[in-house]
Amino acid sequence: MNLYLMAMRRERQLALPRDLRPKSPSDLPAIEAIIGTSLVATTVTFVILTSLLIHHSIVAIAPADRTLLVFDTLSTYAWSVVNAVPLLNLTETLAWKAPYVFSDEGGRLMVLAFKLLLIVPLFQLGGRALRRRVWHDDEARTQAQGKEH
Three-state DSSP class for residue 102: strand
- Cα angle for residues 23, 28, 29 (degrees, 5° grid): 145
pLDDT in tens, 116-148: 888 777 777 777 777 776 766 666 566 666 666
Strand partners, 79: none
Comparing C-alpha atoms, which of 87, 83, 84 is closest to residue 95? 83
Q: Is the dihedral of CA 89, 111, 78, 7 positive or negative?
A: positive
Q: Using 50, 70 and 90 to split pLDDT, how confident is the model at 17? A: low
pLDDT of residue 3: 38
Residue (of 63, 54, 67, 55) closest to 111 by Cα position = 54
Whether this prediction's pTM lies above 0.75 is answered by no
pLDDT at residue number 2: 39
pLDDT score, position 66:
85
Residue 35, pLDDT > 50, answer yes
Q: What is the Cα 142 distance to its own chain's centre? A: 33
pLDDT at residue 4 greater than cutoff 50: no
